[in-house]
Structure 1
Amino acid sequence: MSENNRFKTLGAFLKSRRNRLLPEQAGLNGSYGRRRTPGLRREEVAILAGVSATYYTWLEQGREMAASREVIENIGKALQLTTDESMHLIQLWDPNESASVPSLNMGLNPQWQQIIDQLTYPSFISNERSEVFAWNTVANEIIADFSSMPVDERVMIRILFVDPELRHRMRNWEEFALHSVAVFRTYYDKHQDDPWFAETVNRLCEDSSEFEAMWNFHHIQLKKVSRVFIHIPSKGKVYPFDINSLSNLDNNPGLHFCIYTPVEGEKAEAN
């Protein structure tokens, strides 16, 4: 990511988190008189973080500023960032982190297809774009019909919003969609120099008003185990799955092995 893009992305992220935080949440109820917007003012964040209002304003405007880790962490605390958001902020601030972003144009070892073919659980391999490179028969049947899709349409973040059948069968779709958009936003900010991300987001915003609304929340979240409830028509029941994601395949941190593992102790619900 170029220096200019990195600072602009950092500034946009700070602004989105400031607009989200209510004054009463920060202990500033009633300060500075009537408000036109619900979020904190820049000078309020500056006070909470122990920096000057001008300094914080310039950071949020995306100017190239020298800032210590302590200052960035104090701003994160002032904005009450989650653990994932704090890590994301540090990665945006740290030029070494930004320079180490791997290329997404990687090949896949053919042996991985043989491995997932032997699994009885729905499984697929994707990258940080959420492009699906390999999948097993069970994934084809339970998640989405990857085999029938054109290569450039095998993108999980897109499938999640434009495949009406998957949406109908995934009974906690909205919860999972919010989580997926937050994870995708993390990778979007990480790969600012990759035009594919902007093109994909623009296209999805045109195709799905729900994606556009969730995208505008500017939520950030790292990948973690997430649970989905999927109705399987052939069995007539809704089954719970935990999605476990393994990374660093073939020594490439951008490749993820996603396994939909049935939840032990949880009974399938008739539908």
Structure 2
Amino acid sequence: MSGKNISASMNSSRAKTLGDYLKSRRARLQPEQAGLRRSPGQRRTPGLRREEVAILAGVSATYYAWLEQGREVAVSREVIESIGKALRLNRDEHMHLLELWNANEPETATTITTEVKPQWREIVDQMAFPCFISNDRSELLAWNRSADGLIADFSSWPRERRNMMSMLFTDPKLRSRLLNWEEMAAHSVAMFRTSYDKYAHDPWFAQFVAGLSRESAEFAALWKLHRVEVKKVTRVFYEVPGRKQALAFDINSLAFTTDHPDLHLCIYSPVSD
């Protein structure tokens, strides 16, 4: 049997996460964008109707409704691809859809790494550029002095608050230094959404999002957009005391070994003029 015809029998948490994702993508897509003629009368909900997505994807309206409702049904690669095309997903969104479908691997309770090995700390300390190690929760596990001086004073923060997502929205000093804060905030939330969906079984993520949404209206607004993006080289601009011109850095994120797939080494490489 070819990979295209393999069916995934959705378990409850994955099915619910997939359903929420499909619903969010449908809500942001207008009929004209999908090549449909807008029907007369006012729509009760934003975006396409379920029936319209079903028609575009070549599936029954009932079957598509079950998917959005998070029911545990078998879904083939061919069907999930058709739905992705109907929803006009971009590359990152399409990859995320396939990860949520994930037909070839059973859902497992992936462990989050909360401590790093001493030799990894030594590697970070010896790096000339600002860098840090974080996990899929955005928790900071190791960083060097250059990162302390450029990004934020990580060392002064209590351990339970050393979270890049939280600091991005609640630390006024970090925000004042980062000149393209709005761009980075939107990208960071979109990346964090991929982790949130990946760890649908982990209650930590839902609790964290609820707490940060109460602390930051800006985070809450971005979170409601349900955007997803994969990690990529991102350019940031920092205002440094004593310098008239801002410093530019490209953030390169390197994945760890298969033993710790949730860890990332983020290196801030200076951009030459």
Q: CA deviation at 1:143?
A: 0.5
* Alpha-carbon separation, structure 2, partners of 1:223 and 1:98: 24
Structure 1, gaps ≥5 residues long: 267-271
Match of 1:152 in 2: 160
Match of 2:263, SS?
strand
Match of 2:112, SS?
coil
* Alpha-carbon separation, structure 2, partners of 1:24 and 1:230: 41
Q: CA deviation at 1:95?
A: 4.7
* Alpha-carbon separation, structure 2, partners of 1:216 and 1:197: 15
Decide which moves more: 119-128 or 23-32.
Answer: 23-32
125, 132, 136: which one aligns with 2:133: 125
Q: CA deviation at 1:32?
A: 6.0
* Alpha-carbon separation, structure 2, partners of 1:242 and 1:97: 34
Match of 1:159, SS?
helix
Q: CA contact under 8 A between 1:23 and 1:38: conserved in structure 2?
A: no
Q: CA contact under 8 A between 1:49 and 1:74: conserved in structure 2?
A: yes
Decide which moves more: 101-110 or 141-150.
Answer: 101-110
Match of 1:185 in 2: 193
Q: Kindly provide the amino acid, as one letter, of the partner of residue 165 in structure 1.
A: K
Match of 1:56 in 2: 64
169, 175, 185: which one aligns with 1:161: 169
Q: CA contact under 8 A between 2:113 and 2:262: conserved in structure 1?
A: no
Decide which moves more: 26-35 or 220-229.
Answer: 26-35
* Alpha-carbon separation, structure 1, partners of 2:123 and 2:210: 35
Match of 1:259, SS?
strand
Structure 2 counterparts to residues 180-219 of structure 1, below 5 A: 180-219=188-227
Q: CA deviation at 1:105?
A: 3.4
* Alpha-carbon separation, structure 2, partners of 1:62 and 1:76: 17
Match of 2:6 in 1: none
Q: CA deviation at 1:34?
A: 3.3
* Alpha-carbon separation, structure 2, partners of 1:192 and 1:106: 18
22, 25, 38: which one aligns with 1:30: 38
**1:234–1:138 Cα change, 3 Å:** farther
Q: Kindly provide the amino acid, as one letter, of the partner of residue 142 in structure 1.
A: L
* Alpha-carbon separation, structure 1, partners of 2:154 and 2:176: 17
- Provide the TM-score with structure 2 as the length reference: 0.92
Match of 1:65 in 2: 73
Give aligned pairs, total.
Answer: 264
Structure 2 counterparts to residues 231-270 of structure 1, below 5 A: 231-249=239-257, 251-264=259-272, 266=273
Decide which moves more: 119-128 or 97-106.
Answer: 97-106
Match of 1:173 in 2: 181
Identity of aligned residues (%): 58
100, 112, 118: which one aligns with 1:104: 112
Q: CA contact under 8 A between 1:11 and 1:62: conserved in structure 2?
A: yes
Decide which moves more: 33-42 or 189-198.
Answer: 33-42
1:30-57 Cα distance to aligned partner (Å, 9 max, x none) = 2364323330000000010000111101
* Alpha-carbon separation, structure 1, partners of 2:58 and 2:201: 33
Match of 2:53 in 1: 45
* Alpha-carbon separation, structure 2, partners of 1:122 and 1:234: 18
* Alpha-carbon separation, structure 2, partners of 1:173 and 1:131: 19
Q: CA deviation at 1:234?
A: 3.3
Match of 2:83 in 1: 75
Q: CA deviation at 1:125?
A: 0.3
Match of 1:99, SS?
coil
Residue 139 of structure 2 is aligned to residue 139 of structure 1: no
**1:100–1:263 Cα change, 3 Å:** farther
* Alpha-carbon separation, structure 1, partners of 2:257 and 2:250: 20
Structure 2, gaps ≥5 residues long: 1-9
Q: CA deviation at 1:243?
A: 0.4
Q: CA contact under 8 A between 1:123 and 1:257: conserved in structure 2?
A: yes
